Amino acid sequence: MGEKAASGSNKSYLRPLHAFRGLAILDIVLLHAFAGAVYFFAAPGAEGISALRLKYVSETLFHSGTIYFALISGVLFTAVLESRGWRRFTYDKLAKVLLPYALMSLLFTSITMEAGVGLKLWDAGWIPFGHAYLANLLNGRALNNYWYIPVVMVLFALTPLLLKLLRSRFGDFCLLMFAVMPLFLSRTGSDITLQMLGHFTGIYAVGLYLGEDYGRKRLLFTRWRWVLLAIAVFSTIILFCLYENNLEFLGPVSVRESLTYVQRMAIAGFVVEALHSHEDLLPRWLDKVADQAFAIYFLHLFFLLVSCHYLLKWLPTPVNTIGVLLIALAIALAALLASMAVCYLLKTLLGKRSRYIVGA
């Protein structure tokens, strides 16, 4: 998910990119909140078609926010982190990404939350627990969104090779290949596959390219901002039509994922430029959300399930579409605030050492 930009002048220079990370984690929380609200509270079948369209809207607007994180991580490495040296980069990723992932996976292998059922503790013995924990570590399955951490750790490990290719005499050709890879190597849901790794490697490599001489390359966003906006709007309309008509694959390629990649990259370019242009107006709460993006990523899905569990006890179901919309927004806010509260509590108790637990 990347690191906070830097201190001093660099932090000011990249504050808009840091703010964009805050928007990216809000994107992911909203996606999961809408998915949960539709799944648990909407009417099934034809009666729930209006709520199903609400899910299509949320998928169109929020699906694959991890594209933003992969792009940000690439930009921040060449713009800020590379100058700090490989030793610190390696330490930070092991201590502040991999270790929190291992601890959070341990926690959510030990306990699970099922909406409508409640909290369940592991009770199948130590040896099966060890097998389950190892499988969750490798596959990112302790919670459904954890798949991204093994993927991004592979991206971090590939960074020296990717930089060597981008800075070689064939750098322009390599950049082109990386940029088109996600169009043809589709994301495979939450399953970690070579195809999935190829998809995000292309995105991360584009970020590495943009972060090098970032100030100059950002001017491209300024020059092409209205084109980027037009691409974002047009691709969003087409993407919704694909969802509405249940169209996805063209051979082995997911057209939805290809179009989502185009849409997300266009949105990223336009929004980052807008954040730079209005840097003085950026709200401080967005900085706080961005500061705790890792903690929110690790914790929000658990709190969404907790929220759904108790709402299922209190609310008669099914709920009409407006109700589903309000539930989605309410549980998104609840999960966001609960995740940030846990992060704040850990920081109060442990100080900077809390980042080794939740990556904050």
Q: Measured between alpha carbons, how far apart are the two ends of the chain, in Å?
A: 11
Distances (CA, A) of 340 to 263, 289, 296: 29, 8, 7
**Environment class of 127 (CB within 10 Å of its CB; exposed 0-12, middle 13-18, buried 19+):** exposed
C-alpha to C-alpha distance for 195 and 206, rounded to whole angstroms: 17
- Domain segments of the chain: what residues? 9-358
In this prediction the pTM is 0.93
C-alpha to C-alpha distance for 63 and 32, rounded to whole angstroms: 9
C-alpha to C-alpha distance for 110 and 107, rounded to whole angstroms: 5
Give me the pLDDT at residue 118, please: 86
Distances (CA, A) of 200 to 7, 67, 69, 72, 204: 28, 7, 10, 12, 6
Could you read off the pLDDT of 60-78 as tens digits, one per residue?
999 999 999 999 999 999 9
C-alpha to C-alpha distance for 309 and 198, rounded to whole angstroms: 37
Give me the pLDDT at residue 46, please: 55
**Cα diameter, the chain:** 64
Give me the pLDDT at residue 3, please: 54
Q: Which positions of the chain have pLDDT values less than 70?
A: 1-13, 45-48, 360
Distances (CA, A) of 196 to 66, 193, 232, 297: 12, 5, 23, 19
